[in-house]
Structure formats: C-alpha cells, structure tokens
C-alpha cells in the first residue's frame, strides 16, 4: 500500500513524527528510535525549542540525509523577510543540516504581509536552503491566498475526527497540495472513543490506527502523531496493511463531539 504523497513531483511520507512537546534526551532518543523503525518524515518548529535535539536524534540514527523529510516552522516574531531568512539559518544550524525540506509559517498574524513573507521563503528555496515552502494554521481563504502567491505545498492544521478540515482539504485537493494533520489523535481522546474502537474491531486495529488510516484515505493528507513510547511509535507505523471501507470512512467523517 502506498506510503507517500506525490506533491510538486516530490514523494512525501504520509506518516511523520510530531515532536511537540518533547525536549532533551527524550526528544533525541525518540527521533533516533523512530527513524530506525522506519519513520522518514520529522516535524519540529522554532517555538518547540527542540530543533537541536531533533538534529541530535537524526545523527544518532546514522540515516542518510536524503532519505529524510524534515519540516520546521518559523515563529510569528520572525515573519518579516530579513528576520525570516535569519531564522531559517538558525534552524539549519540547530538541526545541523544543509537544507530544510519544508519550511512553514507557523501561525498567520494580523500585521503579516503575506506576499513579502512568502517571497522571502521562495528566495530561500531558490538558494537551496529550503526545498519547499508552506503554511500552518491558515484558514481556507488565507491558504488559497498563499497558494495564489507561488509554490506553497502544505497547510499544517489540527485535524481529527473531532476537528474536521473539509474546507482546507477541498483547497488542497483543488491545487493538488497537502494538508498535514497535527494532533490527529486528539490528545488521546480517539483511543477512548467507543465508536472508533468498534470500527477497529473488524480490522483488528486500534481506534488510533483506524483514525490515522481514515485521515490518509481522505487523500492529500499526511499525519504527524506525537509518540514517545516504542509501543505507540510501532502502532502508528502499522496503518499501511489495511484499508477502511467506504462505509467506515463515512461513519468516521460523520462523528461529532
């Protein structure tokens, strides 16, 4: 079963590791363990204050750089073009890598001049310091505005059975770009949901696995669940050996609080 999205002629792993709010040795050890288990998509941010530890985990894994898809995000205080370029250099230095696969605007702000901020990101792309530009926590209208400015490939948003993103997903499908779902397991709420547990029984899968599979089957979606235990890291990887029926996809899509 396919494990990658093809976006802008690049294969992006559908499953990634979210690293918020990990820090210190827990973060570097988890990143190394995840990569050694097969994870190739890693997500961090300046505001997580763990880019250094994520970089340490990458180096511990002894995995070739070009096998990894590394994402980080620029904080709201660094959206002015000159500050953004400097912030990207800082992230490269902390991660100890030569380029960032995907750099995101972490949050939009009222005083942000979107065109100028994105132009600064596109210049970094031309310089080879980032491979792709994207946004995070953008409304569908603002996501569309960003896409109209140039090669933006992603909007990373909170997306779970309890926080749907139909309108953002419609924009992503229209432009054939990607929604990355953060907090897809709703901070553990998914695992306690009787409805999701019941669906999982027929597939011999957990409620969490069913939820991640549902998100991927929507199309144009990648997922970055945070996991720090080996058990959860392994469980999250085991979502590519089954497929939900249309009926079960519909059931999950209709879940409300």
- Say whether the peptide bond before residue 21 is cis (omega within 30 degrees of 0): yes
Q: What angle, rounded to 10 degrees, do the helices at 194-201 and 207-217 form?
A: 80
Nearest to 216 by CA among 184, 192, 183: 184
Please identify every residue annotated as catalytic.
48
Token pair recorded at residue 130: 């980032």
Instruction: Give kind and range of the element (H or E) at residue 184.
Output: none
Q: What angle, rounded to 10 degrees, do the helices at 114-126 and 81-95 form?
A: 40
Q: How far apart are CA 71 and CA 54, in angstroms?
A: 11
Angular region, 180: left φ>0, alpha ψ -120 to 50, beta rest: beta
**Is the Cβ–Cβ distance between 223 and 191 less than 8 Å?**
no
The count of C-alpha atoms lying within 13 angstroms of the C-alpha of 165, restricted to the half-sphere facing its C-beta, is: 31
């Amino acid at each position: 079963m396919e494990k990658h999205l093809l976006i802008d002629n690049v294969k992006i792993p559908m499953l990634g590791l979210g690293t918020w709010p990990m820090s210190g040795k827990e973060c570097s050890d988890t990143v190394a363990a995840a990569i050694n288990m097969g994870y190739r998509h890693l997500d961090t941010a300046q505001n997580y204050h763990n880019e250094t530890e994520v970089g340490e985990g990458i180096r511990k894994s002894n995995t070739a750089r070009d096998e990894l898809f590394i994402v980080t995000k620029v904080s709201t205080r660094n959206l002015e073009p000159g500050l953004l370029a400097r912030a990207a250099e800082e992230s490269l230095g902390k991660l100890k890598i030569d380029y960032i696969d995907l750099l995101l605007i972490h949050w939009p702000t009222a005083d942000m001049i979107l065109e100028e901020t994105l132009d600064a990101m596109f210049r970094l792309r031309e310089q080879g310091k980032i491979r792709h530009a994207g946004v995070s926590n953008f409304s569908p209208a603002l996501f569309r505005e960003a896409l109209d400015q140039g090669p933006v490939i992603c909007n990373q948003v909170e997306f779970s059975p309890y926080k749907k993103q139909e309108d953002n997903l419609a924009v992503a499908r229209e432009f054939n770009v990607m929604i990355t779902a953060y907090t897809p397991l709703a901070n553990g709420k998914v695992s306690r949901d009787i409805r999701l547990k019941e669906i999982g029984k027929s597939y011999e899968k957990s409620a969490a696995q069913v939820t991640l599979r549902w998100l991927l089957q929507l199309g144009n979606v990648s997922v970055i669940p945070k996991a720090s235990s080996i058990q959860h890291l392994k469980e999250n990887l085991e979502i590519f050996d089954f497929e939900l029926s249309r009926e079960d996809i519909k059931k999950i899509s209709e879940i409300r609080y």
